[in-house]
Every structure is written in structure tokens, then in C-alpha cells.
Amino acid sequence: MILIRCFFCIFIIWIGGFFSGVFIKTAFVSNDVIKISGILSIWSAIASLLLGIMLLYYHVKAFWGNTLKGNTLNRLLIFLGLVVAPIISIVIYVKTLTLVADYIECKELNNISIRFSSQTYTISNELCLQLIDDRNK
């Protein structure tokens, strides 16, 4: 049963790492088109990565017979999910916003909904119009 939990944690780490990598790449690599996701999307990706790593560590220790004390795991998970992950998310979000300061917002390509929102910025107005034409085809 512990091995199934470890594989589940690895899957969560893989998903969180994939999306965290996308958000970090967006924040630190400038392109002609930048799509900024909402801060809650960034937070969830970072939190799943951190919490997955912590839970994998816990289950590996349990596999070898060593476990963390009862409240220690809960405190670590709460600290990672409610303190560390939001701080990292805010840093990524603010860095992305400073990156697009010279870009033009392409409002026709923005996606605003309850579950997911994103804003699209382009380096020029012509590129924005080209992307709108490509989407409408």
C-alpha cells in the first residue's frame, strides 16, 4: 500500500513540476508572445510540487520503518501549502508582470473564467492581429 502511495506522490510531483516549469519559464524567458496565468493557478502548481515531495518523503520514511511524529507532518504540509507556496507564487507572478511591462495586451486572446484565467501579451500589435486571425481560422 505504501508503494501505491509513493507512485501517487510521484505522479503529483510530475504534474506539479510540469506546470511549475511552465510558469517559471514564462517568468524568466522572454518570448514574442507571453501568456500569464492567474496567481491561483501558479499557487496550485507550486503547492502540488512541494506537498508531493513532502508526502513522498513521508511515505519513503514509513516504508523503512521511520515515521514523522503525528503533528509534524501536518505542520509541515500547512507551512508549505499556506506560506512557502504562496510566497513563491507571488514572486513568479510579479516577475512575469514586470517582464510584460513593454508588451501590448491582446485582449481578444484573454481567457477569463471561473476555473482558469490567463492574459496574453504580444511584442507588437501586428503579432496580436496575426494570432487572432490564426485562432479564428
Beta bridge partners of 104: 122
Residue 37 resides in a domain: yes
CA geometry: angle at 53 spanning 75 and 39, to 5°?
Answer: 80
Residue 137 resides in a domain: no
According to the model, what pLDDT value does residue 103 have? 93
Instruction: Report the C-alpha gap between 15 and 102 in whole angstroms.
Output: 32
Residue 62 resides in a domain: yes
Number of domains within the chain: 1
Residue 48 resides in a domain: yes
Residue 109 resides in a domain: no
Segments forming the whole domain that contains residue 17: 2-101
Residue 120 resides in a domain: no
Could you report the average pLDDT of every consecutive run of 10 residues in the chain (137 residues)? Answer: 90 97 93 92 96 91 77 89 96 94 91 85 92 86
According to the model, what pLDDT value does residue 122 have? 94
Residue 106 resides in a domain: no
